[in-house]
Amino acid sequence: MSPKTLYDKIWDEHVVHEAEDGTCLLYIDRHLVHEVTSPQAFEGLRMAGRTPRAPEKTIAVPDHNVPTDPTRVDGIKDEQSRIQVEALRANAKEFGIEMYDVDDNRQGIVHIIGPEQGWTQPGMTIVCGDSHTATHGAFGALAHGIGTSEVEHVLATQTLIQQKSKNMLVKVEGTLPPGVTAKDITLTIIGRTGTAGGTGHVIEYAGSAIRELSMEGRMTVCNMAIEGGARAGLIAPDEKTFEYVKGRPHAPKGAQWEMAVEYWKSMRSDEGAHYDKVVEIDASEITPVVTWGTSPEDVLPIDGSVPSPEDFQGGKVDAARRALEYMGLEPGTRLSDIEIDTVFIGSCTNGRIEDLREVARIMEGKKVKDGLRAMIVPGSGMVRLQAEEEGIAQKLQDAGFEWRMAGCSMCLGMNPDQLAPGERCASTSNRNFEGRQGYKGRTHLMSPAMAAAAAITGRLTDVRDLA
């Protein structure tokens, strides 16, 4: 048998039917739904008189629309948001789907709660009507975003019609320098390969720097596979993965646990497996980075300067010109001279407990600069509780951060947390598109450590200079 990649293995294990032209019907083990991309899917089922094939394989959670202030349990004020959340509640009830509602401590961003509840496991196929489903790939699961029509397809059939993607390997070998984190790895990769570099591929992240990462760090890396254009990101499961899954509410128990671990251990790429594309990165060369433009590929080391449109070629010249105008930046400005108005720490990229611990560590003995708006939005109610128990929540509030309820919050302005026009934000989220965090809002993507550093000085700052 020829050697297989991890992606090949998971794929092969899930093919229900293969047509002559290679189109496959792929079985889906786990499905997650949120309020924004599911109402039309449930409506479609209802109109066709269909029912979910395996409702126990789907969980539902509201996250994009929910406000992050505590009064939200008394009802969401924005009428359209409220209707969407109510629709999710009604649909979950009607179709027998488990839901973590707004008043449930387990509620949070869909990609945070999947792993947290042990719903995400190695070797599975996992989908959600959300592009950042790639996050779950950190467990060695084949996880990707789907559109609403596909959400309906999965509900009705527990399968998806798919064409196999190509294999891409991103290998990060070596040791990360101090101050450099998983977010810097993933942004650096996108800066290197571009937002279309992974199109048509599933990326497997490997190498010693990836193996060294915690599960949280691995999720941060896989989360942004989609920003690199890939359908999904994958990391082979190992002891760290099993340790993380063990004992969680949906994790296998007893004899099944032993059986599962045996199986999971086989979920890794074989020696000599073929990749269609290989990118190698030396971890020791990665530095703390930030984005300057309106595409996640607009990445530069923090000690760099704003580029000029002439530095680019082809369609990128105009794109850069447009980005600079939108961002209100002059070529040649040192990135560390850019002043910010807001700091947002949260999202499915960096809203986990480890991220909050990192911010608390940087903030030790320091304060958020006067006049800045700085908010921390835990990725789930469970993260929030844990941070409160560890005393981090209090420390962060004492340092001047707002401490919010769980949700997508300012990662995208669908709820009340938004940037005002022209406002500039140091953000730990994953997209810096025009208008993403609010109409005419300006986003600089970075790691939690770098966002904390920016909170202290009020401008983009090299976290290594604070030590």
Partner 1 sequence: MEKFETLTGIAAPLPLVNVDTDMIIPKQFLKTIKRSGLGVNLFDEMRYDREGNENPDFVLNQPAYRDADILISGENFGCGSSREHAPWAIKDFGIRCVIAPSFADIFFNNCFKNGILPIALPQEQVDLLMKEAEKGQNARMTVDLENQTITTPDGTQVTFDVDPFRKRCLMEGLDDIGLTLEKGAAIDTFESGAQATRPWM
Based on CB atoms, which residue is closest to partner 1, 180 or 323?
323
H/E run at residue 410? none
Q: To the nearest whole angstrom, how small is the minimum distance from the Cβ of residue 64 to ligand SF4?
A: 5
Binding mask 63-92 for ligand SF4 (x = CB under 6 A): xx----------------------------
Asked if residue 276 lies in contact with residue 164, where contact means CB atoms within 8 angstroms, the answer is no
Which among 416, 151, 187 has a CA at the least distance from the CA of 292? 187
Candidates 80, 175, 266, 394; binder of partner 1 (CB under 8 A) is: 80
Q: To the nearest whole angstrom, how small is the minimum distance from the Cβ of residue 80 to ligand SF4?
A: 16
Q: Is 458 left (phi over 0), alpha (psi -120 to 50) or beta?
A: left
The per-residue DSSP string of 432-460 comes to: --TTTTSTT-EEEE--HHHHHHHHHHSB-
83 binds, among ligand SF4, partner 1, none (CB under 5 to 8 A by kind): partner 1
278 binds, among ligand SF4, partner 1, none (CB under 5 to 8 A by kind): none
Q: To the nearest whole angstrom, how small is the minimum distance from the Cβ of residue 349 to ligand SF4?
A: 7
Candidates 116, 130, 216, 298; binder of ligand SF4 (CB under 6 A) is: 130
Under rule CB under 6 A, which residues in 231-260 are in contact with ligand SF4? none
Q: Contact between 109 and ligand SF4 (CB under 6 A)?
A: yes
- CA distances to 7, 133, 214, 337, 440 from 423, rounded to whole Å, are 42, 29, 33, 16, 8
286 binds, among ligand SF4, partner 1, none (CB under 5 to 8 A by kind): none
Size of the site for partner 1 (CB under 8 A): 74
Under rule CB under 6 A, which residues in 375-404 are in contact with ligand SF4? none
- Specify the stretch interacting with partner 1 by CB under 8 A; choose among 148-156, 356-364, 377-385, 454-462: 148-156
Show Cβ contacts of residue 361 under 8 Å, excluding neighbours closer than 6 positions: none
Based on CB atoms, which residue is closest to ligand SF4, 63 or 417?
63
Under rule CB under 8 A, which residues in 196-235 are in contact with partner 1? 196, 199-200, 229, 231
Binding mask 163-202 for partner 1 (x = CB under 8 A): x-------------------------------xx--xx--
3-state secondary structure of 223: helix
Q: Contact between 90 and partner 1 (CB under 8 A)?
A: no
How far apart (Å, rounded) are the C-alpha atoms in residues 153 and 158?
Answer: 7
Based on CB atoms, which residue is closest to partner 1, 121 or 188?
121
Q: How many CA atoms lie within 13 A of 296 on its CB side?
A: 27
Based on CB atoms, which residue is closest to ligand SF4, 8 or 150?
150
Tell me whether residue 411 is annotated as binding. yes
Residue 171: count other Cβ atoms within 10 Å of its Cβ.
18
163 binds, among partner 1, ligand SF4, none (CB under 5 to 8 A by kind): partner 1
- CA distances to 106, 363, 382, 384, 460 from 387, rounded to whole Å, are 14, 15, 9, 5, 26
Task: Specify the DSSP class assigned to residue 199.
Answer: T
380 binds, among partner 1, ligand SF4, none (CB under 5 to 8 A by kind): none
Helices (H), 250-379: 254-265, 315-327, 347-350, 353-363
Q: Contact between 156 and partner 1 (CB under 8 A)?
A: yes
Tell me whether residue 408 is annotated as binding. yes
Binding mask 336-365 for ligand SF4 (x = CB under 6 A): -----------xx-----------------
How far apart (Å, rounded) are the C-alpha atoms in residues 22 and 165?
Answer: 11
Residue whose tokens read 């004992």? 247
Under rule CB under 6 A, which residues in 406-465 are in contact with ligand SF4? 408, 411-412, 429-430
Q: Contact between 372 and ligand SF4 (CB under 6 A)?
A: no
Q: Contact between 97 and ligand SF4 (CB under 6 A)?
A: no
Residue 80: count other Cβ atoms within 10 Å of its Cβ.
10
Q: Contact between 146 and ligand SF4 (CB under 6 A)?
A: no
Residue whose tokens read 């903030």? 363
Q: How many CA atoms lie within 13 A of 426 on its CB side?
A: 34
348 binds, among ligand SF4, partner 1, none (CB under 5 to 8 A by kind): ligand SF4
Tell me whether residue 24 is annotated as binding. no
Q: Contact between 32 and ligand SF4 (CB under 6 A)?
A: no
Q: Contact between 95 and partner 1 (CB under 8 A)?
A: no
How far apart (Å, rounded) are the C-alpha atoms in residues 54 and 75?
Answer: 31
Q: Rounded to an integer, what is the distance from CA 384 to the centroid of its chain? A: 18
Q: Contact between 448 and partner 1 (CB under 8 A)?
A: no
Q: How many CA atoms lie within 13 A of 447 on its CB side?
A: 34
3-state helix, strand, coil in the chain (%, to 5): 40, 20, 40
Candidates 32, 260, 281, 396; binder of partner 1 (CB under 8 A) is: 260
Candidates 63, 152, 216, 358; binder of partner 1 (CB under 8 A) is: 152
How far apart (Å, rounded) are the C-alpha atoms in residues 33 and 184?
Answer: 29
Q: Which residues are known binding-site members for [4Fe-4S] cluster?
A: 348, 408, 411
